[in-house]
Amino acid sequence: MKKQNRFYLYCGILMLLSELWKQWCLTYILNHGQYNWWYFPFQLCSIPMYLCLVIPWIHTERLRGILITFLMNFGLLGGIFAFFDTSGMHYEYLPLTIHSYAWHILLITIGLFAGLSKEADDSAKGFLGSACCYLSCCLLATFFNLAFYQYGAINMFYISPHYYMNQIVFRDIVRLWGNEAGILSYIAATVFGGWLFHQSWKTAWKKYRKFFIKGL
């Protein structure tokens, strides 16, 4: 447990410091001293930073398991799928582009570490807990999108009703059935993607246990 806690804590601190640097660069190098709410760090790929900072201090087995399972399912999902469309990872300032790629590689590393740990819950109950965590983040993101829209462009989790869904595939759904359908299908697809990752981990662990027991 101590080794896991150190890993999460070190990753969380590294991500926090690099995020503060990123916010400074975006504000003072690219935006002439004016803060841009569009880059407020509350996206799916930002959540692991907060979780890594709090997990070492959580001793409740159930809650700790939910958060680590979230990293295994949705954190890994976000890290991998970011590379399917890297347009949002490129900035006019090259160091920020490098940071974005490194960030998502770290997300994949954290997700794999969480999945390989004995603390993740690969049961149906474990997935439900991680999915509820994701949906809770969606609700909080919606609150941010509505509450801070008056202060500037903001689109947390890419589900703001003020902006058309612009993600690959889902922007086509928007053209056919409207923005609300695009947003809801995006959330549903993310939950489904998390479930696929969860099932993959479950299958992998089952085969590993079977092989290990057979090997004994």
Residue 33 CB: number of other CB atoms within 10 A? 7
The answer to whether 126 and 120 are in contact (CB under 8 A) is yes
- What integer pLDDT is reported at residue 167 of this predicted model? 85
Domain count, the chain: 1
pLDDT 10s digit of each residue in the chain, 216 long? Answer: 789 999 999 999 999 999 999 999 999 999 999 999 999 999 999 999 999 999 999 999 999 999 999 999 999 999 999 999 898 999 999 999 999 999 999 999 999 999 999 899 999 999 999 999 999 999 999 999 999 999 889 999 999 999 998 888 999 999 999 999 999 999 999 999 999 999 999 999 887 766 655 544
- Which residues are within 8 A (CB) of 91 and not within 5 positions of it... i.e. 6 or more apart? 30, 97, 100
Amino acid present at 192:
F
Q: How many residues does the chain have?
A: 216
Q: Kindly report the backbone phi and psi dihedral angles of residue 172, in degrees, each rounded to the nearest multiple of 5, phi listed first.
A: -70, -35
- What integer pLDDT is reported at residue 216 of this predicted model? 44
The residue whose two tokens read 């920020």 is 96
Cα angle 116, 117, 122 (rounded to 5 degrees) comes to: 80
- What integer pLDDT is reported at residue 211 of this predicted model? 65
Instruction: Find the domain containing 134 and state its range.
Output: 2-215
